[in-house]
């Protein structure tokens, strides 16, 4: 009964548009009639009252026959062909070929790119000026899905904001210094390094060295083309085995491990500078409380003293224990030339829009 109702509605629509029925609309009608198992006689009867706005040719009729239509319907199509002889030709029914994906660089080009990126990464901090920026860290917590309190495994975490930290981050003579200024917009004198809960440091070069130092013996291979913040990028997958690991996971400053890790490095197609790195832990020892660690770090151009520099934009760190998930959303804002403390006023900027760190659709 439902199919008959749908067919009746479609026939009414066909009758209403009979004066301007295109060949593509004709195909849509026939596809629906086959799907709804309309009889050959009924479909042919509908077509007897149809008019076309475009020329129907023999090749198109052959294509329509492949849909599984009956002989009476084919005869009705041939009548329509004769009636449309003097009309303009229709566009082909076959779908347009999709654009061919951009091929990856050759193996030789990839090796040369990785060598260039390695040199860039290992010398990255040497090219940075002395500066100050505001680091805003929003710390979230959630029950671990599949744990005692987190519902079913595979569910989305129910994140709750714990607090917001505003930090004066100074970079002077290639060294980072963190001074906690505000907690939830309230002035504090607490030591950032001794603050309870999850914290993160080392976004200004340490992560790059964790991947590209020759001692890590990281293996690289092509992954995909990407687009970040309007720039076309080459994404390379990498892996670092545990014996070569330089990435430390610390639990309550009491226990730490150096797990194996893997991830992606996004390289600007034109400049061969790094736009994003990701790290994901692998095979953490079973007796270590942290079961999983992940980091994503995005870089973008910032202006300091009228010169552009590629600097950290945002980092997201996640860790999982058997029962708890933690997430740090870390943003680096308001870069400026290194100056005295008295010249700086601190506040907590609004979060960055998601589109600043979201990978866009593949380039055409």
Q: What is the DSSP string of 178-233?
A: EEEEEETTEE----GGG-SS-----TTTHHHHHHHSGGG--EEEEEEEEEETTEEE
Distance, CA of 290 to CA of 257 (rounded, Å)? 9
Average per-residue pLDDT for the chain: 85
Nearest to 290 by CA among 316, 312, 322: 322
Distance, CA of 244 to CA of 47 (rounded, Å)? 72
State how far the alpha carbon of 120 is from the alpha carbons of 2, 213, 271, 315, in Å.
Answer: 65, 11, 11, 20
SS3 percent helix, strand, coil of the chain, rounded to 5, is 30, 35, 35
- Predicted pLDDT of residue 94: 61
- Predicted pLDDT of residue 250: 84
Q: Which two tokens stand for residue 363?
A: 């380039």
- Predicted pLDDT of residue 173: 84
| Mean pLDDT along residues 329-349 | 77
| Mean pLDDT along residues 93-104 | 71
pTM: 0.71
Distance, CA of 39 to CA of 74 (rounded, Å)? 13
What number of other Cβ atoms are within 10 A of residue 304's Cβ?
A: 18
Please enumerate in sequence order all residues whose Cβ is within 8 A of that of 231, keeping only pairs 6 or more positions apart, or say none: 268, 269, 270, 275
* Burial zone of 242 (CB within 10 Å; 0-12 exposed, 13-18 middle, 19+ buried): middle
Q: Which two tokens stand for residue 229?
A: 């913040």
| Mean pLDDT along residues 101-112 | 92
Distance, CA of 112 to CA of 117 (rounded, Å)? 9
Nearest to 206 by CA among 308, 297, 109: 297
- Predicted pLDDT of residue 28: 86
Domain ranges of the chain: 2-83, 107-356
Which of 74-83, 160-169, 280-289 has the lowest average pLDDT? 74-83
Q: With beta carbons less than 8 A apart as the criterion, state whether 305 and 129 touch.
A: yes
CB crowding 109-144: b at 16 or more within 10 Å, else e: ebeebbeebbebbeebbeeeeebbbbbbbbbbbbbb
- Predicted pLDDT of residue 318: 93
Nearest to 241 by CA among 264, 262, 263, 212: 262
> Where on the phi/psi map is residue 334: left (φ > 0), alpha (ψ -120 to 50), or beta?
left
Nearest to 247 by CA among 194, 298, 203: 203
State how far the alpha carbon of 130 is from the alpha carbons of 76, 86, 119, 200, in Å.
Answer: 80, 76, 21, 21
Q: Give the pLDDT band of residue 4 (cuts 50, 70, 90).
A: very low
**Cβ-defined contacts of 243-248 (< 8 Å, 24+):** 244/215, 244/216, 244/217, 244/218, 245/216, 246/209, 246/210, 246/213, 246/215, 246/216, 247/210, 247/279, 247/281
| Mean pLDDT along residues 8-22 | 51
Map tokens 């290639």 to a residue: 174
Q: Which two tokens stand for residue 155?
A: 């569910």
Q: Give the pLDDT band of residue 161 (cuts 50, 70, 90).
A: very high
């Amino acid at each position: 009964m439902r199919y008959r109702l749908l067919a009746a509605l479609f026939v009414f629509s066909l009758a209403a548009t009979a004066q301007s029925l295109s060949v593509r609309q004709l195909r849509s009608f026939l596809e629906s009639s086959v799907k709804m198992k309309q009889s050959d006689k009924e479909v042919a009867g509908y077509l007897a009252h149809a008019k076309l706005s475009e020329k129907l040719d023999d090749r198109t009729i052959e294509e329509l026959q492949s849909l599984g239509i009956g002989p009476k319907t084919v005869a009705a199509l041939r009548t329509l062909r004769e009636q449309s002889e003097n009309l303009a030709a229709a566009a082909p029914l076959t779908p347009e070929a999709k654009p061919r994906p951009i091929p990856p660089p050759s193996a030789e080009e990839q090796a040369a790119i990785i060598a260039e990126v390695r040199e860039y990464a290992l010398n990255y901090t040497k090219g940075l000026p002395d500066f100050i920026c505001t680091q805003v860290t929003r710390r979230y917590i959630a029950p671990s899905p599949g744990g005692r309190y987190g519902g079913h495994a595979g569910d989305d975490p129910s994140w709750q904001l714990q607090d917001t930290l505003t930090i004066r981050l100074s970079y002077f003579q290639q060294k980072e210094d963190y001074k906690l200024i505000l907690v939830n917009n309230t002035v504090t004198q607490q030591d950032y390094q001794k603050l309870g809960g999850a914290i993160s440091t080392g976004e200004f070069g340490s992560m790059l060295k964790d991947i590209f130092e020759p001692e890590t013996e990281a293996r690289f291979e092509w992954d995909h083309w990407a687009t970040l913040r309007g720039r076309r990028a080459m994404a390379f997958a990498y892996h670092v085995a545990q014996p070569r690991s330089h990435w430390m996971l610390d639990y309550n400053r009491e226990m730490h491990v150096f797990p194996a890790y893997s991830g992606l490095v996004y390289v600007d197609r034109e400049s061969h500078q790094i736009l994003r790195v990701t790290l994901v832990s692998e095979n953490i020892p079973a007796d270590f409380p942290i079961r999983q660690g992940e980091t994503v770090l995005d870089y973008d151009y910032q202006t300091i003293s009228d010169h552009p520099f590629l600097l950290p934009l945002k980092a997201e760190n996640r860790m999982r224990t058997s029962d708890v998930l933690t997430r740090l959303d870390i943003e680096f804002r308001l870069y400026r030339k290194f100056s005295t403390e008295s010249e700086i006023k601190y506040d907590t900027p609004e979060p960055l829009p998601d589109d600043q760190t979201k990978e866009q659709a593949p380039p055409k």
